[in-house]
Structure 1
């Protein structure tokens, strides 16, 4: 049978996205171009690791205690002194944490400067502080891998451990959806590409508020 001139090839059938899946949530994200980085400063997101949940521990220690194994704390039962990241979800390597000599970072799944260029520069200070300290957006990872990521989004950087990419991208989708951070077209396409390979990947949930307590707003 002759093929009509000018017809485009048929595309492959898209993978069905399931309600509650990260793949389904991608289409709900706003798509816009990246704004300039003008005015970005880490301090615009408040003092690092503020105790926004008022549990007496800084956010960094909360995440270390959550993500490390064999955790050892100071007498205050809050300050994490040592532990094991087994393995680092980004590199797949086991990494030891020792306070003061750490090879472990706390990564923002959605980098602060990435968020700044995709909506956060117009937020109230309390929302930026909440974003920077939301456990949904934080993960203990190896320092080397984290620093190679920089402020990359899903279109420019992914973990070398391919088996973690679905969970990683699902986390980014969840954070951007919760806070209304937009994505670029290239970023959306990268998210879809990864999540199409794991259509059952659930969208993670977090119950931290999107506004920090008033005492932090002056930061």
Structure 2
């Protein structure tokens, strides 16, 4: 009899998850609660390496031609306020907008809400050094176009309408950085395939910014740029 009850208990457990006592009382125990639901969501990886790879998949690779006619004024007045991006038409030129946004301990010219005369760049992106800004020696800090204007001209901007070129040259959110003047001069109109910041800790961010500008404005990159981005990927967080 006990053997038959034991067999019945095993069968019922397999079918229902309930256990049956084998003492002949017929009493059953309550099943253990089971929680069934969707598996927990795993947040997507948002590391710089993944973001760079995503931009590389979108951007076009091309040979950089040499297109005649480039001049700085082909992109409008230097540091114009007459652009359609963040900071445009706010009464302050783009250079002073950038200084005010990226420097600390900012000082303005007397009776001016725009003209920055002093401040501190805590960590220059290209060198990693702390730099002080004084308007009397303004060239020590410069505003860099991450995707350079002359390079953009060759890669397609020569065919853009003037306002698009002005917007590109003054894109405070995407394409501009306050940086060390000599480092900016060494960069000139190079892309990542020809130049990378001395500050290794910023290289992945720099490459990502360059690619994002290329994507935003449908500008191609060179094979050397693409190879440099792929080479740096294993070093990126």
Same fold (TM over 0.5): yes
Whether contact under 8 Å (1:23, 1:196) holds in the other structure is no
Q: Is the 8 A contact 2:52 2:229 kept in 1?
A: no
Q: Which residue of 2 aligns with 1:88?
A: 124
Higher helix share: 2
Kindly state the Cα deviation for residue 81 of structure 1 after the two structures are TM-superposed: 0.8
Deviation string 1:72-131 (CA, Å, 9 cap, x unpaired) is 112222111100112211112221111131210000001100111111111111111000
Q: Work out whether residues 126 and 199 of structure 2, in 8 Å CA contact, stay in contact via their aligned partners in 1.
A: yes
Matched, 1:109 2:151: no
Whether 1:182 aligns to 2:217 is no
Give 1:178 deviation, angstroms. Answer: 0.3
Q: How many residues align?
A: 184
The runs of 5 or more residues in structure 2 that have no matched partner are: 1-44
**TM-score of the superposition, structure 1-length normalised?**
0.79
User: Residue 103 of structure 2 contacts residue 120 of structure 2 at CA under 8 Å; is this kept in 1?
Assistant: yes
* Secondary structure in 2 matching 1:87: coil
Structure of higher RCO (CA pairs closer than 8 Å, 6+ residues apart): 1
User: In 2, are the aligned partners of 1:17 and 1:23 still within 8 Å (CA)?
Assistant: no
What TM-score comes out, normalization by structure 2 length?
0.74
- Structure 1 residues without counterparts, runs of 5 or longer: 1-15, 201-219
Q: Which runs of 4+ in 1 moved over 6 A?
A: 16-20
Q: Please give the secondary structure, in 1, of the residue aligned with 2:155.
A: coil
